[in-house]
């Protein structure tokens, strides 16, 4: 993908400590998050904001699909007590849902060169935003005692942390996640096929990428993941300038973020055609995801992270 590399945005430093201590604002701006040094702290801040926005929503986690009953134990949340069953049998049972049954959640991140892009004025690169998003989803999954794993890929899968639900495991996930860097070309579809082969146990697979891949090639990879029994979520991360192509330069020198090849263009000449092709690409991606029962969400790097979580997971729970 061709993009002018306007700037690099990174993870920030200790300056975020004061902001974190004051508690999460509603909603959390990516620029605020960029000043918090630790991905774990970012995740906690985002999830606290997300949870406070739910106002005791009746859904828990990623799914409300009923799974099974279990006997009531002192301290259980009475919201999940089956009062009708109590009336019929005079016995106390808790309803468990699919999300409450220790699911395996695997975060799959694209670290190709195009993910390192940040437009002029952007607070974070696409990869940094993806790391914020992945860390927040990991923290949310860990809160409900799910096993959390990580896969990252460029040309192939280069990072794999198996999904576990043991003490101390999340530090490994956050550490490996924070160490990811953007670079090189990507073979997105091939990497997803490799991921599907590696993940032996069915679970929730969360894809985070800029999705610069032919939709028909993605369809085969989606089908492979679904055939393996995975519930697939796709977060499509774009910088605002990618979505809008809003450049005021007379002549623009674009650089392929993955091959470093350069191409001079006239923005006022190519902008309309670019926007039409981008709209068509996004619509085809949505249709491809829907056809393969993949939950798809487009997010921009200037979007508040807890708002993106709230919008997506609320809609998903309402299915």
| Span 287-316, pLDDT tens digits | 999 999 999 999 999 988 877 777 777 766
| CATH at 203 | 3.40.50.410
130 located within any domain:
yes
Q: How confident is the model at residue 67 (pLDDT cuts 50, 70, 90)?
A: low
Query: Is the residue at 60 inside a domain?
Result: no
CA distance readout (Å), 232 to 56, 227, 235, 254, 292:
26, 11, 10, 33, 9
Whether residue 38 is found in the same domain as residue 181: yes
44 pLDDT above the threshold of 50? yes
- Structure confidence by residue, pLDDT tens digits, 118-150: 988 888 999 999 999 999 998 888 887 889 999
Same domain, 107 and 45: yes
Query: Same domain, yes or no, for 90 and 239?
Result: no
Contact of 264 with 247, CB cutoff 8 Å? no
pLDDT at 219: 96
Q: Is residue 161 part of a domain?
A: yes
DSSP string, the chain: -EE----------TTHHHHHHT---SSPPHHHHHT---HHHHHHHHHHHHHHHHSS-S--TT---EEEEEE--TT--GGGB-HHHHHHHS--EEEEEGGGS--EEEEEEE-SGGGG---TT-SS-HHHHHHHHHHHHHHHHHHTT-EEEEEEESSSEEEEEEEE-STTHHHHHHHHHHT----S---HHHHHHHHHHH--S--EEEEEE---S-HHHHHHHHHHHHHTT-EEEEEEEE-HHHHH-----SSEEEEETTT--EEEE-HHHHHHHHHHHHHHHHHHHHHHHHHTT-EEEEEETTS-HHHHHHHHHHHHHT-
Q: Are residues 165 and 107 in the same domain?
A: yes
Q: 45 with 71, same domain?
A: no
pLDDT digits (tens, 9 = 90+) for 193-211: 999 999 988 889 999 999 9
Q: Which domain holds residue 242?
A: 2-55+103-317
Q: Report the C-alpha gap between 144 and 77 in whole angstroms.
A: 13
pLDDT at 169 over 90: yes
Query: How many domains does the chain fold into?
Result: 2
Confidence of residue 12 (pLDDT cuts 50, 70, 90): very low
Q: Closest by alpha carbon to 101, among 74, 71, 65?
A: 65
Does residue 111 share a domain with residue 79? no
Residue 173 lies in a domain: yes
Assess if residue 186 is contained within a domain.
yes
Instruction: Based on the fold, state whether residues 246 and 284 are members of the same structural domain.
Output: yes
CA 151 to each of CA 162, 167, 285: distance values in angstroms, whole numbers, following the listed order = 8, 20, 22
What is the four-CA torsion angle of 288, 289, 290, 295, rounded to 10 degrees? -170
Q: Domain check: are 258 and 193 in the same one?
A: yes
- Cβ atoms of 296 and 263 within 8 Å: the answer is no
182 in the same domain as 43: yes
pTM of the model: 0.74
**What's the pLDDT at 208?**
97
CA–CA separation, 125 vs 48, rounded Å? 23
Q: Is residue 61 one of the residues assigned to a domain?
A: no
Token output for 76: 């259980």
10 Å CB burial of residue 77 (0-12, 13-18, 19+) is exposed
Q: Does residue 223 share a domain with residue 170?
A: yes
Q: Which of 98, 119, 150 is the last residue of a domain?
A: 98
pLDDT at 223: 97
Residue 23 CB coordination number (10 Å): 11
Are 76 and 199 contained in the same domain? Answer: no
pLDDT at 13: 34
Average confidence (pLDDT) over 236-247 = 88
Are both 258 and 236 inside the same structural domain? yes
Q: Are 237 and 208 in contact (CB under 8 A)?
A: yes
Reported as a pLDDT band with limits 50, 70 and 90, residue 25 is very low
């Amino acid at each position: 993908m061709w993009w002018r590399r306007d700037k690099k945005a990174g993870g920030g430093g200790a300056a975020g400590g004061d902001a974190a201590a004051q508690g999460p604002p509603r909603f959390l701006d990516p620029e605020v998050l960029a000043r918090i040094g630790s991905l774990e702290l970012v995740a906690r801040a985002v999830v606290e904001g997300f949870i406070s926005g739910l106002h005791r929503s009746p859904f828990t986690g990623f799914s409300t699909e009923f799974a099974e009953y279990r006997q009531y134990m002192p301290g259980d949340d009475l919201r999940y007590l089956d009062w009708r069953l109590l009336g019929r049998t005079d016995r106390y049972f808790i309803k468990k849902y699919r999300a409450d049954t220790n699911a395996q959640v695997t975060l799959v991140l694209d670290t190709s060169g195009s993910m390192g892009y940040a437009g002029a004025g952007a607070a974070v690169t696409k990869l940094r935003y993806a790391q914020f998003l992945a860390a927040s989803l990991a923290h949310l999954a860990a809160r409900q005692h799910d096993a959390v794993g990580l896969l990252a890929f460029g040309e192939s899968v280069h990072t794999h942390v198996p999904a576990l639900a043991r003490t101390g495991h999340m530090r490994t996930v956050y550490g490996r996640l924070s160490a990811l860097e953007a670079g090189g070309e990507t073979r997105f579809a091939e990497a997803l096929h490799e991921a599907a082969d590696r993940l032996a146990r069915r679970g929730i697979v969360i894809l985070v990428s800029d999705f610069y891949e032919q939709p028909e090639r993605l369809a085969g990879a989606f089908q492979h993941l679904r055939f393996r029994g995975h519930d697939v979520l796709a977060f499509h991360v774009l910088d605002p300038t990618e979505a809008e192509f809003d450049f005021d330069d007379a002549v623009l020198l674009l650089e392929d973020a993955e091959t470093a090849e350069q191409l001079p263009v006239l923005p006022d000449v190519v902008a309309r055609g670019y926007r039409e092709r981008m709209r068509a690409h996004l619509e085809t991606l949505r249709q491809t995801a829907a056809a393969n029962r993949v939950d798809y969400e487009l997010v921009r790097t200037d979007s508040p992270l807890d708002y993106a979580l709230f919008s997506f997971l609320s809609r998903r729970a309402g299915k």
